[in-house]
Every structure is written in C-alpha cells, then in structure tokens.
Amino acid sequence: MRTNDEAWVKSSYSSAQGDDCVEVLVSGPAVHVRDSKDVTRPHVGASPAAWVSLVGFVGGR
C-alpha cells in the first residue's frame, strides 16, 4: 500500500538527533507505523482498536 508522506506524524518523543523514532499515519480503517530513520522500509498496520490497546499498554509502562 502506498501512503502519502505528508500525512505521517513523527512521535513527540523523538530526540533532537532524530534517532529512535517512529511515525504514525491514520488512513481509513487502519493506523500505520514506520521507522522514521528509513521510510523506504515496509510499515506496520493495525486497526484503530489494536492501536489504542498498544498505546495504552506502552504508556502504562
């Protein structure tokens, strides 16, 4: 699936050096996540419900 590069949002937790960062895109029925250091690699997609669960799990750590 092709996605519009302008719609990707970089994590607010990104360091000033740009390392260890992900970007997120909400597109239709899916949330996509990619490595911002290499945007040419495949991205991972999940349903919005799965994304909310993941963020809740990671945020609670």
pLDDT of residue 50: 94
Give exposure, 5-42, as e/b (b: 16+ Cβ within 10 Å): eeebeeeeeeeeeeeebbbbbeeeebbbbbebeeeeee
Residue ranges per structural domain of the chain: 5-59
Q: Where are the alpha helices (DSSP H) in the chain?
A: 48-59
pLDDT of residue 49: 94
15 versus 37: the higher-pLDDT residue is 37
The most confident of 3-7, 8-12, 26-30, 49-53, by mean pLDDT: 49-53
CA atoms within 13 A on the CB side of 35: 7
Label residue 16 by pLDDT band (50, 70, 90). Answer: low
Rounded to two decimals, what is the model's pTM? 0.71
Strand locations in the chain, DSSP E?
Answer: 9-10, 22-27, 30-35, 44-46
